[in-house]
Structure 1
Amino acid sequence: MVERVSWFSKVDYEIFLFFESHDIGATAKVVAYNIDYVPNYVNRRLRVLEDAGLFSNEGGIYELTDFGREFLAGNVDEDELPEP
């Protein structure tokens, strides 16, 4: 799992855990349902993570980017993340 990042919220870690276990494309609503959070909040956080290059969004379907996979694997330090 990823290290603590100063600008992450608690749900961001839950989002990463979901995608670590399910390497799929999913809507914010599907992710929210599976991690027991409100869909609008998950969608806002996914957009922040997308702005940081960790996720891509095609038509409302979010997927980890290669950079996001590297981050999840622990190969990216916090100082390498663009703070949104």
Structure 2
Amino acid sequence: MTGRDDIILEMLSESGVVLNKRGLEINLQREEADISYSTLQRRLPKLEDAGLIEEVVEQGAWYAITEEGEAYLEGEADLRDTDDPDGS
């Protein structure tokens, strides 16, 4: 996992809402996080594959954090070494 993944997970966790990619992008910009839409397009599938987020609406791809994602944020799971080295 990457530092940007942590920011994405924190946004979903702290907001407690389900967001699509555009909603995430807008809210991350409002928080002055340096995460582009293209980064979200790359990272969300990886977070989903890792079980940290889930797609809750198939049309339009809306995402929510999972219990495993919450555990990761709380330091109960370390997944940093499971990602590719370039963080993409």
Same fold, TM-score > 0.5, yes or no: yes
Identity, % of aligned positions = 24
Aligned residues: 76
Q: Note the aligned Cα RMSD (angstroms).
A: 2.2
User: 1:21: which partner in 2?
Assistant: 14
Contiguous gaps of at least 5 residues in structure 2: 30-34
The TM-score, its normalising length taken from structure 1, stands at 0.72
Paired residue type of 2:20 = T
User: 2:66: which partner in 1?
Assistant: 65
Runs in 1 of length 4+ with deviation above 3 angstroms? Answer: 81-84
Contiguous gaps of at least 5 residues in structure 1: 1-6
Distance 2:11 2:42 in 1: 16
Distance 1:65 1:82 in 2: 18
User: 2:32: which partner in 1?
Assistant: none
Q: Is the 8 A contact 1:33 1:39 kept in 2?
A: no
User: 2:42: which partner in 1?
Assistant: 44
**Deviation at 1:82?**
5.3
The TM-score, its normalising length taken from structure 2, stands at 0.70
Q: Is the 8 A contact 2:53 2:65 kept in 1?
A: yes
